[in-house]
Structure 1
Amino acid sequence: MSNRAVLEVIALDAQDAVAAQAGGADRLELVTDMAADGLTPARETFAAIRAAVDIPLRVMLRQEDGFATGDIDRLLGRLGELREAGADQFVFGFLDREGHADLVAVERIVAELDGCPWTFHRAIDRATDRGSLRKQLADLPGLDTYLTAGAATGVDDGVPTLLDEAARSDEPGYEPQILVGGGLRLDHLPSLRAAGLDAFHIGGAARPHGWTGPVDEAAVRTWREAVDA
């Protein structure tokens, strides 16, 4: 089973987490406040989810909507609390005003991670130059995943970019796994899987009643089966 595709599901609380794991999720992305595109959850929320499930958890590090860093010292404080509670995988990504990677912020966070694995999230889809961003980040310890739709507007528009980047996985900066997410639909999967893409991220697709409702185990299972098909 080690070569099966990864299915990551957004979880807001322990109820979501239990349903997602039961439906076949391999990993969870923990956030709060999806109206702001997902912010750092409370330490207590992380602890409750960690106690409820045994699959890997990637915790969002973001304080405000958008891709600016905000108060980096405050964010590092939140990171310290989460690390003390046992968090050992993370999700973050910051751009400067010109749309380049905010290396100062990213490197400060990475320095506190002690090698923990992390995902650079969809900030890459807003970057001025995706290729140069990948090269900027290429040597940072722990970076093993890019969460991307291939385009700021979502997977529909991003498929050509995703296929191109998947074909370059042996080039410097392109080694991290591509985790496809952002407007991802079941009908996208066949062409993405055929191109060798093997990691998928869903949020709203796991919630038939929208973000005000919980993750639905059956919805996650439908995705599990489609990803594995």
Structure 2
Amino acid sequence: MSKRAVLEVIALGVEDAVAAQAGGADRLELVADMAADGLTPPVGTFAGIRAAVDIDLRVMLRLADGFAVGDVERVVRAVREMRDAGAEEFVLGFLDAAGGVDIGAVERVVGELDGCRWTFHRAIDRAADRDALRKQLDGMPGLDTYLTAGSGAGVDDGLSTLLAEAARGGEPGYEQRILVGGGRWFNDVPELVGAGIHLFYFVGAVRPQGWGGPV
């Protein structure tokens, strides 16, 4: 029996979340401010969505545009507020000025997650060396997914990287699932599924009115 694809959708509020679940989403990523490519939402937004749907929710931990952590203690405070509100899954990813993983920042934030599952987001597609990043994060508690297009330019450019990384599943640094997102990947689904990738990430494709309208 073939494994069913799992669909993750960005939600900005309760209306999005309810529509996404009704449309078949398996998991939501909760963000605010898509003009900045998605920042940490208010705690009240998380609480409202959690009360409205029963699918898994992953909360973005990102306080400013870009991939630098900024004030790591502010991120830690955001984690504590979300955990107190009942959040159990997260999304994060921090790079240093040279394009390497900011391992100190990641360790500091993950240390507050208390074993919660989390995704390393598309910062990997902007990393100077994605293989090195994966190996540095190998064994990090709770890390179970990489959100990636295989390239900063999108799946059209990164397909070969995605297929190559899927083929390395089980190697140190490659045990995590690949969540494909970034650019238009729909035509590549059969090849991706054939390579063992079953997680797909919807951003604008589920919003016919753009970011000004709901899912």
State the AA in 2 paired with 1:44: G
Match of 1:201 in 2: 201
Match of 2:183 in 1: 183
Task: State the 1:2 CA deviation.
Answer: 10
Task: State the 1:105 CA deviation.
Answer: 0.5
Task: State the 1:178 CA deviation.
Answer: 0.2
For the residue of structure 2 that corresponds to 1:83, the secondary structure is helix
For the residue of structure 1 that corresponds to 2:112, the secondary structure is helix
Task: State the 1:185 CA deviation.
Answer: 3.5
Rate the CA distance shift 1:20–1:2 in 2: closer, same or farther, 3 A.
farther
Task: State the 1:3 CA deviation.
Answer: 4.0
Distance in 2 (CA, whole Å) between partners of 1:194 and 1:73 is 42
Instruction: Tell me the TM-score normalized by structure 1.
Output: 0.92
Q: Higher helix proportion, which one?
A: 1
Give matches, 1:86-105, under 5 Å: 86-105=86-105
Match of 1:22 in 2: 22
**Deviates further, 192-201 or 44-53:** 192-201
Distance in 2 (CA, whole Å) between partners of 1:158 and 1:185 is 10
Match of 2:44 in 1: 44
CA RMSD of aligned residues (A): 1.2
Match of 2:162 in 1: 162
For the residue of structure 2 that corresponds to 1:147, the secondary structure is strand
Aligned pairs, number:
215
Give matches, 1:97-116, under 5 Å: 97-116=97-116
Match of 1:65 in 2: 65
Task: State the 1:93 CA deviation.
Answer: 0.1
Structure 2, gaps ≥5 residues long: none
Distance in 2 (CA, whole Å) between partners of 1:80 and 1:2 is 39
Match of 1:220 in 2: none
State the AA in 1 paired with 2:9: V
Match of 2:145 in 1: 145
Task: State the 1:4 CA deviation.
Answer: 2.0
For the residue of structure 2 that corresponds to 1:9, the secondary structure is strand
State the AA in 2 paired with 1:201: Y
Match of 2:12 in 1: 12
Task: State the 1:209 CA deviation.
Answer: 1.1
Higher relative contact order (CA 8 A, sep 6+): 1
Match of 1:173 in 2: 173
State the AA in 2 paired with 1:164: A
For the residue of structure 2 that corresponds to 1:190, the secondary structure is helix
**Deviates further, 179-188 or 169-178:** 179-188
Does the aligned pair in 2 maintain the 1:90–1:119 contact within 8 Å? yes
Match of 2:121 in 1: 121
Distance in 2 (CA, whole Å) between partners of 1:61 and 1:2 is 34
Does the aligned pair in 2 maintain the 1:184–1:202 contact within 8 Å? no
Task: State the 1:79 CA deviation.
Answer: 1.0
Match of 2:131 in 1: 131
Structure 1, gaps ≥5 residues long: 216-229
Rate the CA distance shift 1:187–1:109 in 2: closer, same or farther, 3 A.
same
State the AA in 2 paired with 1:66: G
Deviations 1:10-37 (A, max 9, x none): 0000000000000110000000000000
Identity score, percent: 68
State the AA in 2 paired with 1:34: M
